[in-house]
Amino acid sequence: MKTKSLLKVNIQQFDVFNPANILLQDAVSGSVPKEEGTLILKEFMTQSAVTRLAKYEPMAKPEKEFTYLASGPGAYWVGEGERIQTSKATWLKAKMVSKKLGVIIPVSKEFLNYTVKDFFAQIRPAVAEAFAIKFDQAALFGVDSPFGTGVSVFERIESSGNKIALNSIGKLYDELNGVIALIEDADKDVDGFTTTRRFRQKLRGAKDENGLPIFNDANAGAASQVLGLPIGYVDSKSWDYEKALLIAANWDMARYGIPQGMEYAISTDATLTTIQDAEGNPINLFERDMFALRVTQQVGFMTLSEDAFAALTPEVTTP
């Protein structure tokens, strides 16, 4: 994307930058207004399955070191007057490094006449959705991941071999129970699933050995549940159906952090090489009387254990 812009910033005439009073055309780059940025983050964290299930780590800087409990202390039977033995918990250190997540959205030029505040109020859902899709792709399957090889949830599943294929050991109830057991074998508890709404039909039809449904759809503000555990739904654009149908996890072993506010910039003369028109040509903003909004946000993610995740994979077909 070409970064040269025909627009010029001139806000020195204002004593205080007030996004409610300044037009977007007069403030072509800077920080996303705090209120709107907070709302974008809330929508992003609501739409992303990973942020709903994984554990949040507060980050004040792009890098954070923290300790986590890998195994707890043991207890002992003690006779009267006997000395209680001392056991030691295992604490490990981890370092999470945030990476820049960015989105570029082509927008009609009329929005240049909006105030900065009003513009971001309008564009907020699109930015939040784009962030959620890209983050879930990287965190769940390692797609275009900046966090390193072997860090994503499914890469951990591949390393551990914690996979059961659909219809490989019986009906769906048995297979989900088996997926949970893979994590329990490592002495960890499953505290949630993630899948797409496309798989919800199979979950609705699944029954236990007594013929009772194992799925409860969202009701009265509560999340959907299967076998009594919550489900975080992922946008279908974030999911790899060839690799997994559903993922179970002890989500305390997945961490994410968001260390700083959002920044934005706009351009009216860029050529967007990652978007094509109907003829397969890159989008030239100047020719189309449009501008592009770029929003960036630092986000960190890591997984702490490979045996804390398991997957129900697609049915194995024989030729």
Structure tokens at 221: 């503000």
Write the CA distances from 127 to 55, 76, 101, 225, 266, integer angstroms: 23, 54, 11, 28, 14
Q: What are phi and psi of 255, to 5 degrees?
A: -125, 150
In a domain, 319, yes or no: yes
pLDDT of residue 1: 40
Residue 5's pLDDT band, with cuts at 50, 70 and 90, is: very low
- Number of domain units in the chain: 1
pLDDT of residue 201: 92
In a domain, 34, yes or no: yes
Write the CA distances from 175 to 198, 259, 312, integer angstroms: 18, 39, 7
In a domain, 179, yes or no: yes
Residue pointed to by tokens 């770029």: 294
In a domain, 107, yes or no: no
Torsion 58-221-127-282 (CA) sign? positive
Can you list the positions of beta strands (E) in the chain?
A: 29-31, 55-56, 63-71, 90-108, 163-165, 192-195, 215-216, 225-226, 229-233, 246-249, 254-257, 263-267, 271-276, 282-284, 290-303, 309-313
For 161-210, write each residue's pLDDT tens digit.
Answer: 999 999 888 789 999 999 999 999 998 999 999 999 999 999 999 998 89
Residue pointed to by tokens 């505040």: 117
Across the range 1-11, mean pLDDT stands at: 36
Across the range 133-145, mean pLDDT stands at: 96
pLDDT cut 90: percent of the chain above it = 56
In a domain, 126, yes or no: yes
pLDDT of residue 268: 82
Write the CA distances from 47 to 74, 175, 314, integer angstroms: 39, 27, 25
In a domain, 131, yes or no: yes
- CA–CA distance, 240 with 273 (Å, rounded to integer): 25
pLDDT of residue 289: 78
- CA–CA distance, 138 with 132 (Å, rounded to integer): 10
Across the range 291-299, mean pLDDT stands at: 91
Residue pointed to by tokens 């654009």: 237
In a domain, 218, yes or no: yes
In a domain, 261, yes or no: no
103: helix, strand or coil: strand
Asked if pLDDT for residue 14 goes beyond 70, the answer is: no
- CA–CA distance, 254 with 192 (Å, rounded to integer): 12
CB 257, CB 59: distance < 8 Å: yes
CATH number, domain with residue 94: 3.30.2320.10
pLDDT of residue 143: 95
Asked if pLDDT for residue 59 goes beyond 60, the answer is: yes
- The residue type of 192 is G
pLDDT, greater one: 317 or 202: 202
Residue ranges making up the domain that contains 163:
29-70+90-98+114-256+298-319
For 27-48, write each residue's pLDDT tens digit.
Answer: 888 899 888 999 999 999 999 9
